[in-house]
Amino acid sequence: MRGKPWAVPLRAVLLAVVGAAALAAFVSADGRSEKPAPWPTTCVGLNDAIEMSQGNHRNVGIYQREFGDQAEQACRNEHRGDLSALGSLVADADAAASDGQDADAMAADGQDADEQQGMQSPPAAMTKLTDGVYQYIGFGYVSLVVISGGEVLITDPSFDLRAQALKEAIAELTDAPVSTIVLTHEHYDHAGGTSVFADASVICHVNCQPIFDLFTSPTGDVPEVDQTFQDLLRIDVGGIDVELHHLGPGDGEATTIIYLPEEQIVVTSDLYEPRGLTGGAFVDDKNFTGVRHILNTISQWPLKHAVNAHSLGTDPIDLYENVEYYNDLYDAVYEELAAAVAQSGPFGAFMLQGTLSQTLKLPKYQDWSNYDTAFPRHVDRMLLSIFHGD
């Protein structure tokens, strides 16, 4: 295992950033301290600080986008165990905010928090999907956990702090150590944290290693990969069949799809969001024609659960809706590209760059989160993927 090239522990950085964020939540715009509301933005601020520290800017504000006024309660429900692992930060914030009231009592006319949130409450940290198969949610990331016959397989520990929380959650289910770690792709925010599971074998697609050899990220250890594969690898986890598929580039060059055929569970990472568009620079490393191909392929598999690396739910409908979105986007861009090439030859493709994204619209998806800001970039990326190949 390679050592960290930085000296300041991640936990210290996070606590410093979150402490500042929590303090900012208690101060008004003109600098005067105000009496804080219960749990003002402590958990959301913690989540955002962690995401920022890992370079995951797409996940900053994810609770506000998905849960609106109930963002703080949703974050607390999901990260209750993670927050405890950070020591007294939450307890102090809770005590300061409660003013003698139970922190679990959200203000709104004394209603119960679950009643306020209705059906929007996120699942617990570890959610059972079927016998021996679980989904662990923590710090904005999702890991598949397979436990059977004294063996444990997990995906994407992400980083040391989260990996330790995941390890503790698994220990509540089994005494067996984690034996196998599958990395869904080469990006460091997913591939870190493997050192917490010292005896586990790390598996990643063959395209991971050239990226890991560069070791350009200061966010944590880069894993030593024990086993690679090309197109398909089958693993027997105590009698549960786990398939690793590489269907081409998606989010990165080592995109791996995990499929449990008997359980009809598929796991993807960073390929789609439920009724939302990925924004910012995180669009730029996606091969949109590759993502479209992958989603179309796996949507034909029998599915009961579609686990997504940054989403709370597992309903395959989110996958199917994104298949439709990527197909609609491809068709619309291709039609414009074909017309431009017919009129101006190969240079027509270059003439569309930066202009098609300002005129092309898909009103069908205008209610999806980030549509207004992210859709033009999606148009540009699909255009480039079609005529440039990346």
Query: Which residue in this structure is represented by tokens 């040391």?
Result: 160
pLDDT of residue 58: 63
pLDDT of residue 287: 96
Instruction: pLDDT band for 182, please (50, 70, 90 cuts).
Output: very high
| Residue, of 283 and 240, whose pLDDT is higher | 240
Side-chain-facing half-sphere of 188: CA atoms under 13 Å: 19
pLDDT of residue 54: 54
Cα torsion angle, 384, 385, 388, 390, sign: positive
| Residue, of 320 and 125, whose pLDDT is higher | 320
Residue 207 has pLDDT above 90, yes or no: yes
| Residue, of 198 and 111, whose pLDDT is higher | 198
Which of 208, 240, 270 lies at the terminal end of a domain, its last residue? 270
pTM: predicted TM-score of the whole model, two decimal places? 0.71
Question: How far is Cα 330 from Cα 129, in angstroms, rounded to an integer?
Answer: 33
Helices 89-98 + 71-85 axis angle, to 10: 140
Instruction: pLDDT band for 188, please (50, 70, 90 cuts).
Output: confident
Amino acid in the structure at residue 276: G
Residue 145 has pLDDT above 70, yes or no: yes
Task: Work out the average pLDDT over 197-223.
Answer: 86
pLDDT > 70 fraction of the chain, expressed in percent and rounded: 72
What's the domain range around 107? 10-120
pLDDT of residue 189: 87
pLDDT of residue 281: 79
In a domain, 364, yes or no: no
Task: Work out the average pLDDT over 88-106.
Answer: 37
Task: Work out the average pLDDT over 323-340.
Answer: 97
pLDDT > 90 fraction of the chain, expressed in percent and rounded: 54
In a domain, 279, yes or no: no
Instruction: pLDDT band for 1, please (50, 70, 90 cuts).
Output: very low
Q: Do 102 and 142 belong to one domain? A: no
Structural domain count, the chain: 2
pLDDT of residue 112: 41
Which of 246, 270, 294 lies at the terminal end of a domain, its last residue? 270
The overall average pLDDT reported for the chain is: 79
Task: Work out the average pLDDT over 252-281.
Answer: 94
pLDDT of residue 125: 76
Q: Among candidates 314, 309, 312, which has minimal Cα distance to 156?
A: 309
pLDDT of residue 26: 32
Query: Which residue in this structure is represented by tokens 């520290």?
Result: 53
Residue 346 has pLDDT above 50, yes or no: yes
Q: Do 89 and 222 belong to one domain? A: no
Which of 232, 247, 270 lies at the terminal end of a domain, its last residue? 270
Q: Do 39 and 75 belong to one domain? A: yes
Alpha helix ranges (H) inside the chain: 10-25, 42-53, 62-67, 71-85, 89-98, 113-117, 160-171, 188-191, 208-214, 288-298, 317-344, 347-352, 356-359, 371-388
Residue 254 has pLDDT above 90, yes or no: yes
Q: Do 64 and 187 belong to one domain? A: no
In a domain, 332, yes or no: no
Q: Do 107 and 149 belong to one domain? A: no
Residue 303 has pLDDT above 90, yes or no: yes
| Dihedral pair phi/psi, residue 33, rounded to 5° | -70, 140
pLDDT of residue 52: 57
Instruction: pLDDT band for 258, please (50, 70, 90 cuts).
Output: very high
CATH of the domain at 165: 3.60.15.10
In a domain, 171, yes or no: yes
In a domain, 377, yes or no: no
pLDDT of residue 89: 35
In a domain, 331, yes or no: no
Residue 309 has pLDDT above 70, yes or no: yes
pLDDT of residue 109: 40
Q: Do 146 and 112 belong to one domain? A: no
pLDDT tens digits, 26-68: 333 344 333 333 333 557 767 766 665 555 666 777 777 777 7
Residue 170 has pLDDT above 90, yes or no: yes
Residue 19 has pLDDT above 80, yes or no: no
Q: Do 116 and 137 belong to one domain? A: no
In a domain, 365, yes or no: no
Q: Do 168 and 52 belong to one domain? A: no
In a domain, 305, yes or no: no
Residue 159 has pLDDT above 50, yes or no: yes
Q: Do 69 and 194 belong to one domain? A: no
pLDDT of residue 327: 98
